[in-house]
Chain A
Amino acid sequence: MVHSAKTGHPGGDLSSADILVSLYFGVMKAGGSWTASEDRDRFVMSKGHCSGAFYSVLAEAGCFPDEWLDHYMKPLSMLNGHPDRNKLPGVEANTGPLGHGMPIATGMALAAKISGASWRTFILTGDGELQEGSNWEAGMTAAHYGLDNLTLIVDRNRIQQGAWTEDTIRLEPLADKWRAFGWAVQEVDGHDHAALLDVFGRLPFEKGKPNCVIAHTHKGMGVSFIQDRPEWHHKVPSDAELEAALKELQA
Chain B
Amino acid sequence: MSVPSQLFDCRDAFARSLEEAAAADPRIVAVVNDSLGSSKMGGFRKLYPQRLVNVGIAEQNMVGVGCGLANGGMIPFVCGAACFLTGRAMEQVKVDLAYSKSNVKLCGMSGGLAYGPLGPTHHSIEDLAWTRVLPHLTVIVPADPYETEQAFRAALALDGPVYLRLSRMGVPNVHGEDHRFQLGRATKLREGRDVTLIANGTMVCRALEAAQQLELEGVQARVLNMATLRPLDTGAIAAAAEETGCIVTAEEHSIHGGLGGAVAEAVTATTPVPVRMVGVPDAFAPTGSVGFLFEHFGLTAAGIHDAALEAMRRKSRKC
Interface residues of A (CB under 8 A from B): 5, 7, 48-49, 73-82, 84, 94-99, 128-129, 131-133, 160-163, 165, 168-169
A-B contacts, CB under 8 A, total: 89
Q: Which B residues contact A (CB, under 8 angstroms)?
A: 34-37, 54-58, 60-61, 83-84, 87-88, 115-119, 121-122, 286-289, 292
A136 to B242, CA, bound (A): 56
The answer to whether B56 touches A160 (Cβ under 8 A) is yes
**Closest chain B residue to A94 by CB distance?**
B121
Contact B58 A169 (CB under 8 A): yes
In the complex the two chains form, what is the Cα distance from A135 to B161 in whole Å? 29
Chain A residues touching B, majority SS: loop
By the criterion CB–CB under 8 Å, are B121 and A168 in contact? no
A-B contact pairs, 13 of them (CB 8 A): A5-B117, A7-B117, A75-B287, A78-B287, A81-B117, A82-B118, A96-B119, A133-B60, A133-B61, A162-B35, A162-B36, A162-B54, A169-B56
Give the 10 A-B residue pairs with the shortest CB-CB distance, closest first. Answer: A169-B56, A96-B121, A131-B56, A73-B117, A81-B118, A75-B288, A80-B119, A80-B287, A131-B57, A77-B287
Inter-chain CA distance A160–B54, complex, in Å, is 12
Contacts of B87 in A (CB 8 A): 97
Residue of B nearest to A83 (CB): B119
Chain B residue at smallest Cβ distance from A75: B288
Give every chain A residue within 8 A of B61 (Cβ-Cβ): 133
Nearest-CB residue, chain A, relative to B293? A75
A28 vs B292: C-alpha distance when bound (angstroms): 38
Whether B287 lies near A97 (C-beta < 8 A) is no
Determine if A82 and B122 form an interchain contact, defined as CB atoms under 8 angstroms apart.
yes
Docked-complex contact B286 and A76, CB < 8 angstroms: yes
Q: Which residue of B57, B115, B116, B286 contacts A99 across the interface (Cβ within 8 Å)? A: B57
Indicate if the CB atoms of A84 and B58 lie closer than 8 Å.
no
Q: How near does chain A come to B292, taking the closest CB pair, in angstroms?
A: 5
**Given A75-B292, A76-B287, A132-B57, also A97-B117 (CB < 8 A):** no
